Amino acid sequence: MTKPLKNQVADRIRGILEEKGLKQQDLVRASGFSKSYISLVLSAQKNLTLETLEILEKALKTPILHIGK
């Protein structure tokens, strides 16, 4: 059974942070979101908008979702 998309996104963001050697606080600073909001995102307790995903991708300098062919 496939994980819900918000869990997959949370896993992907945590993976990017780990790959880049970044901490949650680094994402807080780079994105401008609060620590509590980022915590909710990373624990898959938040449904993200496309705009929020875009902000997080820019903060991480890495795509989170791959859309297209």
How many Å apart are CA 30 and CA 35, to the nearest integer?
A: 11
How many Å apart are CA 32 and CA 40, to the nearest integer?
A: 15
Complete domains list, the chain, with CATH: 5-60 (1.10.260.40)
Q: What is the pTM of this model?
A: 0.91
pLDDT of residue 69: 60
DSSP the chain: -PPPHHHHHHHHHHHHHHHHT--HHHHHHHH---HHHHHHHHTT-SPPPHHHHHHHHHHHTS-SS----
pLDDT tens sequence across 5-54: 999 999 999 999 999 999 999 999 999 999 999 999 999 999 999 999 99
Instruction: Please check the confidence at residue 66 and state whether its pLDDT lies above 90.
Output: no
Rounded to 5 degrees, φ, ψ at 11 are -60, -45
